[in-house]
Homo-oligomer: A and B are copies of this chain.
């Protein structure tokens, strides 16, 4: 009896655990569609076009910008990253929920273009916990980590503008919370085909 799917946007500071939770949901929620970003950066070893990213040339990406084919985009140190609108809208129209993992700035760009989306802010319980996560993944220099922590302090101020906030203290619990949000949002009257329900009561 559903008319369409929900666009679920999971966002939060770098190191908050968005990727880990999306991978866990990918296992647990088979009918969830995961949005694939477009980028102009070169594929890394093992990355597949259309799976990890849509790998585009710069002119192709700029064509998508001018054609308004991106829900959001950003220029990160000379490489473009963005969310192609079309595959996402197609999934929503078939009634599937779409999961979009994105940074804080991108989340608000998405809401501007698609106000019905559901914004989830993911955040470790403390600065120390976030620092621990950033150091553990071993991909950032000390300076990078320091800068990411300073960004996080600012980004937390945005939490009031989100629909939900999930404290990522323990990955399993945070995943269950995000899943509860997805399940709850499936019960919104706006998604329900009310005509069809009324028809079943005649």
Contacts and interface: CB of A to CB of B under 8 A. Distances in A.
A180 B164 CA distance: 13
A165 to B, nearest CB: 5
7 contacts: A127-B200, A127-B201, A159-B189, A164-B184, A165-B192, A180-B184, A181-B184
Interface in A153-202: 153, 156-157, 159-160, 162-167, 176-177, 179-181, 183-189, 192, 194, 197-198, 200-202
Nearest to A167: B1
Contacts of A104: none
Which of A156, A179, A180, A186 is most buried by chain B, counting CB atoms within 10 A of its CB?
A: A180
A156 B201 contact: yes
A188 B164 contact: yes
Contact of A187 (B153, B165, B186, B189): B165
Chain multiplicity (copies): 2
Interface residues of A, number: 39
A123 B123 CA distance: 36
Interface of A: 1, 120-121, 123, 125-127, 130, 152-153, 156-157, 159-160, 162-167, 176-177, 179-181, 183-189, 192, 194, 197-198, 200-202
A198 B156 contact: yes
Nearest to A161: B189
A94 B187 CA distance: 28
A199 to B, nearest CB: 9
